[in-house]
Amino acid sequence: MQLVEPRPARPLPIRITPLIDVVFILLVFFMLTSRLLPVGLLELDNRTSGTPVTGGTPLPQLLVGPDGQVSWDGRTLPLAELVAALQAKQVTEVNLATTATTGLGVFTRTLSTLDQVDIAAHWQRQNPGSRQHD
């Protein structure tokens, strides 16, 4: 015979406060350790620095202006005319440069247009203090 009746089993309550504290600490940790990149920059693969210099014809130099016009061979052409001229000369690779005031949207549009017609564009980022050598 039992003198004391056993207590009914009741579920233990889950305390949320320590869980919220841990999640908050993790959030702060990841916010402090993550590297935030500026949204206005576009990372490009730059393969021009490691390639050896070889003989042959040099690649055409294209200069993209802020208005979307591209300078090549002493002429300034709209992008559509430039693509037609490059295809007429059977050019498959070009070196692409931008002026200091060329916007990211103009550069991206030029780069994607050249890519759509299978013209490989190489672009090298210039440091603000460096001069461009021809």
Rg (CA), the chain: 30
Count of beta carbons in the 10 Å neighbourhood of residue 86: 21
Q: Is the pLDDT of residue 50 over 70?
A: no
What are the backbone angles phi and psi of residue 58, rounded to the nearest 5°? Answer: -70, 155
Question: Taking a C-beta distance cutoff of 8 angstroms, is the pair 123, 111 a contact?
Answer: yes
Q: Which residues contact 123 (CB under 8 A, 6 or more apart)?
A: 44, 46, 48, 95, 96, 97, 98, 111
Q: What's the rounded Cα separation, in Å, for the pair 6 and 88?
A: 94
68 pLDDT tier (thresholds 50, 70, 90): confident
Q: What would the pLDDT profile of 81-112 be if each residue is shown by its tens digit? A: 888 988 898 888 888 888 888 888 888 888 89
Q: What would the pLDDT profile of 109-130 be if each residue is shown by its tens digit? A: 888 999 889 888 887 655 555 4
pLDDT of residue 72: 86
pTM: 0.53
Indicate the domain borders of the chain: 61-123
pLDDT of residue 20: 92
pLDDT of residue 46: 60
